[in-house]
Amino acid sequence: MVLAVSLGVMQGAKADVTTFAEAAVPRLSQYLKIDTVNPPGNEYRGVAYLSKLLDDAGVVYESAESAKGRGNLWARLEGAPGPDGKKKPALVLLHHIDVVPANLKFWTVDPLSGDIADGYIYGRGAIDTKGLGIAHLQAFLALADSGITLNRDVLFVATADEEAGGFFGAGWLIENRPEIFADVGYVLNEGGSGRSFGSDIAVMVEVTQKVPLWLRLTALGKPGHGSAPQMQTSVTRLIRGLKRVSETEFPVNVIAPVAQMFEGMAPYQTGADRSNFADIAKAVENPDYLLGLKLNNPGGHALLRNTCSITTLEGSSKINVVPAQVHAELDCRLLPDQDPEAFLVDLNNIINDKHITIERIMGFTPAISRTDTPLYKSIAKVSEQAFGAPVIPTVAGGFTDSHFFRDLGITSYGYSPFVFAPGEFSGVHGNDERLGEENLKRGVRTLYQLLVDFAG
């Protein structure tokens, strides 16, 4: 399904960005009430909501379903060509509509309630990434309403399926609607944000990420009855192989973007971490420090080596049946300078069992976005103006849809215009996910300032 709508320009006086920022709170609350849990996604529901807001603002948009119910939406503000008759490369504001599941049992509110309490908006997706989407939308609408002549096109894009790999969302749009991105040079997506350290703030901008390599292990063995234990079965083979994987520490490998990230974070650390972060390559030569980092900062530790987490197990469907085959799935993440094929060879050697096969479920290609760009300079300028904060290029341990665009040579940054205090980010994929009301409103104003600086 493809839908295009064009209504008249909004009548009356142009609103101040503050008006758009204030409206962000109830709009996010409503967005969070919409069930787009993936699986199955049903992102068309989010598209319907965003479409109404764009209709009300008189902004042209289009939408398309990659599969039944898997909705995607995009809108464009046209820029003007320069003296040479050409427009500057376009900018995309990207967020995903789908959210991960949440267990009501462990939340203090309904995960799909959109409750507003104690200065926060609660709900699955508040940070990842419906909150970012509403900040994008409100800044985008403020820009449309401002009357400012743009030097480039600015696009608002909302996609499906990011939480499952993006193949029904950003990946599908790139393959099936390539004209949307034909003139795009830049993408702002999830993956980075401001972080507060006491009275100090640093703005983290994601420029690359570890590469996911999702694997399915299958072990074979002789089936039988549970009452007659065998010397070796598919289950014991798999357990032995998984034990070897779980006990393996892959070699430390401090790549340049990670070293730069740790160095940028060093001034905000306390005690020995301040000097260790400043020269992380030397610090990790001490195995005791490396172990302490893994215990106290597993996310930081994971950026220093390849990793594999055992996440799913599948055995017999009956307790008294020894199965002929069993399965396990591994969430492996490789540093962006690694060769996936060489890694698979190493993993096979670690498991060391010809009766266990490894199947690749999903894997992406690595890419790093440069920081010597006009957009990065604008982010640094606005971060200084808004927060008095430096910008630190970072490496993400998880993956986002940015890799689809980096594969096309499009500069993509993980940047959210929010500032999170310690602990506020813990709700992402966890319990009681929430975003502060003032954080959201300030985020809209900050993003609008960035759009004006970069595209105005």
Query: What secondary structure, in 3-state letters, does 224-257 show?
Result: EECCCCCCCCHHHHHHHHHHHHHCCCCCECCCHH
In a domain, 328, yes or no: yes
In a domain, 34, yes or no: yes
- The number of distinct structural domains making up the chain is 2
Q: Which residues contact 148 (CB under 8 A, 6 or more apart)?
A: 452, 456
Indicate if 247 and 334 belong to the same structural domain.
Answer: yes
Strand partners, 308: 332
Indicate if 150 and 45 belong to the same structural domain.
Answer: yes
Name which of 2, 179, 153 is nearest 92 in CA terms.
153
Indicate if 175 and 273 belong to the same structural domain.
Answer: no
Pairwise CA distance, residues 106 & 430, whole Å: 9
Question: Residue 260 — left, alpha, or beta (φ > 0 → left; ψ -120 to 50 → alpha)?
Answer: alpha
Indicate if 225 and 179 belong to the same structural domain.
Answer: no
In a domain, 375, yes or no: no
In a domain, 369, yes or no: no
The reported pLDDT for the residue numbered 17 is 96
Indicate if 223 and 284 belong to the same structural domain.
Answer: yes
Characterize 50-76 residue by residue with b for buried, 16 or more Cβ atoms within 10 angstroms of its Cβ, and e for exposed. Answer: bbebbeebbbebbbbbbeebbbbbbbb
Indicate if 67 and 139 belong to the same structural domain.
Answer: yes
Length of the chain: 456
In a domain, 186, yes or no: yes
Residues 359, 345: contact at Cβ < 8 Å?
no
Indicate if 49 and 132 belong to the same structural domain.
Answer: yes
CATH code at 293?
Answer: 3.30.70.360
Instruction: Determine the 3-state secondary structure of 207 from DSSP.
Output: strand
Indicate if 218 and 178 belong to the same structural domain.
Answer: no
Q: Which domain holds residue 94?
A: 2-191+400-455
Tokens 């993006």 locate to 166
Low-confidence ranges of the chain (pLDDT < 50): 1-13
Q: Which DSSP letter does residue 429 get?
A: T
Indicate if 257 and 325 belong to the same structural domain.
Answer: yes
Indicate if 221 and 317 belong to the same structural domain.
Answer: yes
The reported pLDDT for the residue numbered 425 is 85
In a domain, 388, yes or no: no
Q: How many CB atoms lie within 10 A of CB 175?
A: 11
The reported pLDDT for the residue numbered 15 is 61
Residues 45, 118: contact at Cβ < 8 Å?
no
In a domain, 382, yes or no: no
Estimate to the nearest angstrom the gap between the alpha carbon of 329 and the chain centroid.
21
Indicate if 318 and 412 belong to the same structural domain.
Answer: no
CATH code at 112?
Answer: 3.40.630.10
Residues 428, 111: contact at Cβ < 8 Å?
no
Amino acid at 395: V
Pairwise CA distance, residues 114 & 24, whole Å: 13
Indicate if 287 and 405 belong to the same structural domain.
Answer: no
The reported pLDDT for the residue numbered 14 is 55
In a domain, 151, yes or no: yes
The reported pLDDT for the residue numbered 423 is 84
Q: Which two tokens stand for residue 307?
A: 């990793």
